[in-house]
Amino acid sequence: MARHRRLISAALLGVAVAAGLSALRPATGPLRPLVVATTDLPAGHRLVAEDLRISDWPADLHPGGASSAPAALLGRVLAAPLRRGEPLTDTRVVGPGLATALDPGCRVLAVPLSYPPPEGMLRAGDLVDLLAGAPVGTPAGAPATLLAEAALVLAISDAGTDPPGSLLTGGRSGEQVVVAVDGRQATAVAGALGTRSVGVALRPPSASPSSGSRCSREDSW
Write down the pTM of the prediction.
Answer: 0.60
**Do 89 and 65 touch, CB atoms closer than 8 A?**
yes
Confidence of residue 13 (pLDDT cuts 50, 70, 90): low
In this prediction, residues 128-153 reach a mean pLDDT of 85
Beta-bridge mates of residue 93: 78
Per-residue pLDDT at 61: 86
Beginning with the edge strand found earlier in the chain, give each strand of the sheet holding 175-182 in spatial order.
Answer: 106-112, 175-182, 145-158, 127-132, 198-203
Burial category of 158 from C-beta neighbours within 10 Å (exposed 0-12, middle 13-18, buried 19 and up): buried
Please, are residues 110 and 93 in contact by the beta-carbon 8 Å criterion? no
Contact call for residues 44 and 77 (beta carbons, < 8 A)? yes
The CA-atom distances, in angstroms, between 198 and each of 26, 106, 146, 157, 188 are 53, 20, 10, 15, 12
What number is the average pLDDT over the span 16-42?
A: 73
What per-residue confidence (pLDDT) applies to 205?
Answer: 66
Q: Measured between alpha carbons, how far is 122 from 164 in angstroms, rounded to an integer? A: 19
Query: Where does the chain hold its CATH 3.90.1210.10 domain(s)?
Result: 32-90
Coil, strand or helix: which one is 164?
coil
Determine which of 12-21, 108-117, 144-153 has the lowest per-residue pLDDT on average: 12-21
pLDDT in tens, 44-53: 788 999 999 9
| CATH among 3.90.25.10, 3.90.1210.10, 3.90.1150.10, 3.40.50.1950 for 32-90 | 3.90.1210.10
- For range 128-147, the mean pLDDT: 84
* CA atoms lying within 13 Å on the CB side of residue 220: 24
pLDDT at 89 over 80: yes
Tell me the average pLDDT of the chain: 77
Give residue-wise pLDDT tens across range 171-213: 344 578 889 999 999 999 999 988 888 999 988 766 655 554 5
